[in-house]
Amino acid sequence: MQKDTNTSSSSSPTIRNRHRKRSNEVVPDINKANGNHLLVNDKNKYKSMLIRAYSTIWMIGGFALIIYMGHLYITAMVVVIQIFMAKELFNLLRRAHEDRQLPGFRLLNWHFFFTAMLFVYGRILSQRLVNTVTLDKVLYQLVNSLIKYHMVICYSLYIAGFMWFILTLKKKMYKYQFGQYAWTHMILIVVFTQSSFTVANIFEGIFWFLLPASLIVINDIAAYIFGFFFGKTPLIKLSPKKTWEGFIGASITTIISAFLLANIMGRSQWLTCPRKDLSTGWLHCDPGPLYKPELYTLPAWIAYLFPWKEISILPVQWHALCLGLFASIIAPFGGFFASGFKRAFKIKDFGDSIPGHGGITDRMDCQTLKWSILVTRHVRCTLKNRSVHAYHMKEMIMAVFAYIYHQSFVVPQNFSVEMILDQVLMNLSFEEQETLYTRLGQMLQGKIQGQT
């Protein structure tokens, strides 16, 4: 009997350990999360909803102010958010014990980060920087030289970091160091893939930044509201609280919102005019046919029921429907990816930069919308006390799609005078531009004399 007791007691720790290992990754009870239980019946949700809803007001105002201040300030906001995101992601797999044995190793991560930032933003903003300093010949030549050797500078910085990494390799620490090296590069891909397209969209016109990001915000909130009141059918096991009712309701809401918002935003020159330099002055431009309203005659049965016989629609609204469709059906899979990522690493939040809400990566979950995303985060947390990590991947997917769609289906494919002048300013030296100007004048003069 004593032997049986000892055997049982000695084996119990092993059994406990096995249970602990099995319970590391908790599989949510889908029936408990959804089933026939509606979140609307949970009275505790309403208190959190009201408290956090009040906090969104000042953030909405802050985001509106940044939009009003213009392209350069929105870009600066994106950069600041990127830095905080990178900090949280760098710390995600960091081990304090190993780092203490590798002084200066953490600095190497930031070296690669700022090298990538110089490369990405240098390529995007180089032409606009040239346009800004054109009047100052000395400054223009300096900027032109920097642009000419931009890739060489960035590559040299990267090689310096690569050599720095090799020289800091330490015995018995190889696996950790190479793991951190790979993790750093993955972070750079995730952070700068979205930001490069985001900034490119901003300077093509704030419209192409604000509308796609707003659609993700609307889809996110609408999915929760419809799921909150009507959700019963689980959508995907990876995110057991998401429901088909929420998904379908959010899709319809997002597509309708895309059509209506495009009409409102498309009538503002501040939102539609592209920024060709890095100034902050007011923009004036020809809106082009994409933003000029067209009248459509409504069918007789609609005119009979409603007082309108004609409706004014901007051509860009039809493009907005495509963005809304993508934001409704494809972008949510970015959220599912983020859910699986956090489940794989057994983490709830990416950081604690925002007390009570997790990190910047959780709340912005980045792109882009940054402040508007933060607004969404608070609204969603207001509506539902849960982690909102998925926004980053949704915004990244949406930003890339918006840029590719704009370049493929919106931007004219023929060469315009502005495009040719941009290439001349970027690729020719000041002396070569003077030569081109002289020869072009001679050719035009000869053509005029020939016609007379």
Task: Point out which residues pair with 295 in neighbouring strands.
Answer: 312
> Any alpha helices (H) in 231-299, and if so which ranges?
244-265, 269-272
- Over residues 272-285, the pLDDT tens digits come to 999 988 988 888 88
Using DSSP's 3-state secondary structure scheme, residue 313 falls into: strand
Q: Taking phi first (over 0 means left), then psi (-120 to 50 degrees means alpha), and beta for anything else, what does residue 104 get?
A: left
User: Angle, nearest 10°, between helix axes 71-92 and 44-69?
Assistant: 130
CA-based angle 424:430:433, to the nearest 5?
45
For residue 338, give every residue at least 6 positions away whose Cβ sits within 8 Å of its Cβ, in sequence order, or none: 365, 389, 390, 391, 392, 393
For 307-420, strand residue ranges (E) read 310-313
Structure tokens at 247: 């998904």
Please determine, for residue 19, whether its predicted confidence score (pLDDT) is greater than 50: no
The Cα–Cα gap between 172 and 177 comes to 10
Predicted pLDDT of residue 356: 38
- Over residues 127-167, the pLDDT tens digits come to 888 888 877 778 888 888 888 899 999 999 999 999 999 99
The Cα–Cα gap between 350 and 403 comes to 27
- The bridge status of strand 234-236 relative to strand 239-243 is antiparallel
Structure tokens at 55: 């906090």
Long-range contacts for 158-164 (Cβ within 8 Å, ≥24 apart)? 158/112, 158/115, 160/111, 161/108, 161/111, 161/112, 161/115, 164/108, 164/111
**Virtual CA dihedral for 287, 291, 293, 298, nearest 10 degrees?**
170
Q: What is the DSSP letter of 234?
A: E
* 63: phi then psi, degrees, rounded to nearest 5: -65, -40
CB-hemisphere CA count at 13 Å for 285? 22
* 236: phi then psi, degrees, rounded to nearest 5: -150, 140
Predicted pLDDT of residue 150: 94
Please determine, for residue 378, whether its predicted confidence score (pLDDT) is greater than 90: no
Structure tokens at 324: 């809304």
Asked whether the beta carbons of 165 and 108 are under 8 A apart, the reply is yes
Structure tokens at 132: 């800004």
Greatest CA separation for the chain = 122
Predicted pLDDT of residue 163: 97
* 299: phi then psi, degrees, rounded to nearest 5: -60, 160
pTM over 0.85? The answer is no
Please determine, for residue 396, whether its predicted confidence score (pLDDT) is greater than 80: no
Predicted pLDDT of residue 202: 94
Task: Point out which residues pair with 320 in neighbouring strands.
Answer: none
Asked whether the beta carbons of 250 and 223 are under 8 A apart, the reply is yes
pLDDT band at residue 26 using 50, 70 and 90 as cut-offs: very low
Predicted pLDDT of residue 343: 74
Predicted pLDDT of residue 449: 80
- Over residues 347-366, the pLDDT tens digits come to 655 444 444 344 444 444 43
For residue 396, give every residue at least 6 positions away whose Cβ sits within 8 Å of its Cβ, in sequence order, or none: 190, 193, 194, 334, 366, 367, 368
Asked whether the beta carbons of 232 and 34 are under 8 A apart, the reply is yes
The per-residue pLDDT of the chain, averaged, comes to 78
Please determine, for residue 198, whether its predicted confidence score (pLDDT) is greater than 50: yes
Using DSSP's 3-state secondary structure scheme, residue 389 falls into: coil
For residue 400, give every residue at least 6 positions away whose Cβ sits within 8 Å of its Cβ, in sequence order, or none: 193, 194, 197
